[in-house]
A and B are shown apart, each in its own frame.
Chain A
Amino acid sequence: MSNELDDRELDALLAELAPTEEERARLLEEHRQLEKDLLRLSDPLPPPDFVGQVMKRVAQSPAKVSKVEVVTAGAIVMATVVLAAVTLAVSGGFAGSFGLALAQLVVTAREALVAIGSGLLALWTTAALPSVVALSMLLAASLVALKRFALPANVKVTS
């Protein structure tokens, strides 16, 4: 079908370009000659370092990830998640005890925080000045100690 269309199109083109037999013959001869010349043309060679440049870019390109690898990795992740969920559901006792322990930890931590806060408040109300002095001395001693630790790095070593 497309070939018929092609033929008709060519026929029309030829009739338009060369209405008489003589003109057609001349036109066809010129086309034939042109074809001969065109067939003698060839593609130019790429630059000498072309393959090297391509391979350099290939080496720098991000690693290829095939569809199979993506599907495999996805399947492994899915299987792990499903397995973990199933294990948790099957071992119901463990899940219960874990929750209980977590709740106890939260309660204990809250109690500990309240106790520490009360202790600090009591210390501040009864002996604020000694506490500040003691804390200041502790801070100063710590800074001196740190300085002493840091000093050896700056010492110039001579033989």
Chain B
Amino acid sequence: MRVDALIAITPPLEMSLGSLMADDAIEQPWLSEVRRARRGDEQAFAALVRAVQRPVYGLCLRLLRTEAEAAEVAQETFLRAYQHLERYDESRPFDLWVLTIARNLCLDILRRRTKHRTEDVDEHAQVLPSGDASAEDKAIARQERQSLEEAMATLSVDDREVLALYYVQKRTTKEIAQVMNVAPGTIMARLFRAREKLRQRMQPPGESQEAKS
């Protein structure tokens, strides 16, 4: 079996997600708001914040793992976006630009954190709610979702980031590459590695040792 089989996991997902996953169809839904905000219209900027607050806060929370810090950094992200709105390149999606700012701020904080800070998985599991209370979400067992979140929380920042952007935020590999400032071709390998680590963490202890032997 060649690697094509492995890659074949993802194309149907991209197709099923429709325009969200279409690499070439770049839409700029917030352009008029951005232009109005540039002219000093604060209401237009508030509309932009409302539109992209959830992915920005979500990414901050997945990277930083504490609600207070995530909210603070997400606020700082929007403030910086407002102050540097002149620098925003209109050919790029606005949400990706803001996500890039958020990511850089989060990475700065993570770098500053002390090395021996313990990772509290339980805290993270409580912090990250399961999202929408939609019918689809309700169908999933709460316990299952929680264990998935817990396992995700034990991954490295890079792994958490790529999984969150691809699966939670439904970004394309091209968009993820823009946010992470890496070559688009490396995203699939990163995703696979992250998924594999997650799979291993999800396995019961005895089973993972069996698999290794």
Contact = CB atoms under 8 A, between A and B. Distances in A.
Specify whether A and B are partners.
yes
A40 B136 contact: yes
Interface stretch (B47-55, B89-97, B113-121): B47-55
Task: Name the residue in A2, A46, A62, A67 with the highest tally of chain B Cβ atoms < 10 Å from its Cβ.
Answer: A46
Given A6-B188, A13-B193, A28-B9, A43 B75 contact: no
A99 B213 CA distance: 99
A97 B193 CA distance: 85
Nearest to B148: A37
B131 A14 contact: no
Interface residues of B, number: 63
Given A34-B195, A43-B57, A43-B169, A54 B148 contact: no
A43 B131 contact: yes
A5 B170 CA distance: 24
Given A61-B82, A64-B40, A13 B136 contact: no
A58 B192 CA distance: 40
A31 to B, nearest CB: 6
A44 B3 CA distance: 34
Contact of B196 (A8, A13, A53, A64): A13
B13 A35 contact: yes
A10 B168 contact: no
Nearest to A67: B86
Interface residues of A, number: 46
Contacts of A7: 3, 7
A27 B132 CA distance: 30
Contact of A58 (B59, B82, B140, B170): B82
Interface string A99-119: 000000000000000000000
Given A9-B189, A61-B83, A2 B199 contact: no
A76 B46 CA distance: 34
A31 B71 contact: no
Nearest to B183: A2
B137 A17 contact: no
Given A7-B7, A13-B189, A28-B6, A41 B131 contact: yes
B131 A55 contact: no
A157 B59 CA distance: 69
A51 B47 CA distance: 9
Contact of A25 (B1, B46, B170): B1
B131 A58 contact: no
B53 A64 contact: no
A44 B128 contact: yes
B201 to A, nearest CB: 11
A4 B88 CA distance: 33
Contacts of A45: 54, 57, 129
Contacts of A3: 185
Interface in B76-127: 78-79, 82-83, 85-86
Interface of B: 1-3, 5-7, 9-10, 13, 40, 42, 45-46, 49-50, 53-55, 57-59, 61, 67, 71, 74-75, 78-79, 82-83, 85-86, 128-132, 136-137, 140, 144-145, 148-149, 163-164, 167-170, 183-186, 188-189, 192-193, 195-196, 198-199, 202
Given A14-B6, A43-B131, A46-B74, 18 more contacts: A2-B183, A8-B3, A31-B195, A37-B140, A37-B145, A38-B195, A40-B136, A42-B168, A43-B55, A43-B57, A46-B71, A50-B49, A54-B49, A55-B45, A59-B42, A61-B83, A64-B82, A66-B86
